[in-house]
Amino acid sequence: MYHRLRIQVIISTLFRSSTTMSARPFAPERQLALSAVRRACALTSSVFNKLVKNETLTKGDKSPVTVGDYAAQALISVMLKNSFPADPIVGEEDAAELRVEEGSVLRERIIALANEALVAPLVEGDKAEWGIGPGQEKTSDELLDAIDRGNHDGGRTGRMWTIDPIDGTKGFLRGEQYAVCVSLLVDAQVQLGIIGCPNLPVDASKPDGERGCIFVAVRGQGCQQIPLTGSTETALSMPAFTPSSLNFLESVEALHSSHSTTDTISSILGITRPPLRMDSQAKYGCLARGDGGLYLRMPTGVGYREKIWDHAPGAILVEEAGGIVTDSRGAPLDFGLGRTLGENFGVVAAGKEVHSAVLDAVQQATGTKAKA
């Protein structure tokens, strides 16, 4: 009797844990991508500390970013290939320039950094079968091939990952905000988004407190924040804003998003609080947790096409935290057009309560026609 009961308890415990694991779509992808982003954040922080802070490479020199970009994309791509070998990747970087520089200091640095990140000891949640941990070095050719696996053209159907190994390069060089960004698209819909922000305060009300957060969202499973150095997950949901309590999140770089257009929109909406300017997709994470009520990205001119890796991870964070993300005409962002979002009509991300008022204001400010 005692044995039967014990067996039943064991079976039901096993059943419960296996159903919770298998019942959650994209659980393996989430776990692996979290680990990859965490490792890539450690890599990029070490590039900053070793090469930028002590000015081994000057800030005017593009190479520290290049080293970090390539090495982080190689690392993430190797990890994705180990577990999901059939999934293509739309990554920002490609290795063409590195291939002609065999033996160069730059290339050797990149290989060493990627391998250092791959062989770092396993932490909670990591699995050796992901091809990480001691002894898991890759050759130069394997790492260059991994970078080039990011050459996929994108498209309307099938599974594909996006990687932006360092988003917000200007912020990275200033020692301010930047982000490591990964997403999984299935038939052009974002199903998983992960953004690692090594320099972002864990709590916006404590700007001098602990720094380093990861934001993660799976479609239908909400948006969570996890400290970079821990595993405690905090569910995020956007607070309800009204125009009087709203403030903008926008790019630091006026070339990336028109500050003057947002100023006009701000006065149409009667917003009095100053904008919160920061680089990178950290803005989407901050919006999801309520540090600001509205992220606007208004084109500064014709010609620039937004890239899918610059918006797919962020968009799902905001949607899963209860917000709405569209272009400035009210149309959904289309991640099925290829590597870019096609024609660029900006981005409007905001809470449900204010999104349509913002679209109206954008229409007034720019003379464009917003969809109902």
Pick from 272, 271, 265: which is nearest to 347 by CA? Answer: 265
The one catalytic residue in 94, 169, 334, 368 is 169
Applying CB under 6 A, the span of 50-58, 198-206, 215-223, 248-256 interacting with ligand A2P comes to: 248-256
| 169 labelled catalytic | yes
In the numeric block, the tokens 């991870």 are attached to: 313
Give the count of residues interacting with ligand A2P (CB under 6 A).
12
Residue by residue, what is the 3-state secondary structure of 125-148? CCCHHHCCCCCCCCCHHHHHHHHH
CB-nearer residue toward Mg ion: 76 or 271? 76
Contact status: 280 vs ligand A2P (CB under 6 A): yes
Nearest to 351 by CA among 291, 297, 288: 288
Q: Is 69 a catalytic residue?
A: yes
Subset of residues 111 to 170 that bind Mg ion, contact rule: CB under 5 A: 164, 166-167
| Residue 92 binding Mg ion, by CB under 5 A | yes
Closest contact distance (angstroms) between CB of 95 and ligand A2P is 17
DSSP assignment string, 34-101? HHHHHHHHHHHHHHIIIIIIT-SS-TTSSHHHHHHHHHHHHHHHHHHHHH-TT--EEES--SHHHHTS
d(CA 260, CA 263): 5
Does the annotation list 291 as a binding residue?
no
**235 is a contact residue toward ligand A2P (CB under 6 A):** no
Nearer to ligand A2P, 169 or 237 (CB): 169
Asked if residue 164 belongs to a known ligand binding site, the reply is: yes
Secondary structure of residue 179 in the 3-state scheme: strand
Q: Is 168 in the site for ligand A2P (CB under 6 A)?
A: yes
| Cβ neighbours around 274 below 10 Å, total | 9
Q: Which residues bind ligand A2P (CB under 6 A)?
A: 167-169, 251, 253, 255-256, 279-280, 300, 304, 310
The catalytic site residues sit at 69, 169
Residue numbers in the known binding site are 92, 164, 166-167, 310
Q: Mark the binding-site residues for Mg(2+), compressed into ranges.
A: 92, 164, 166-167, 310
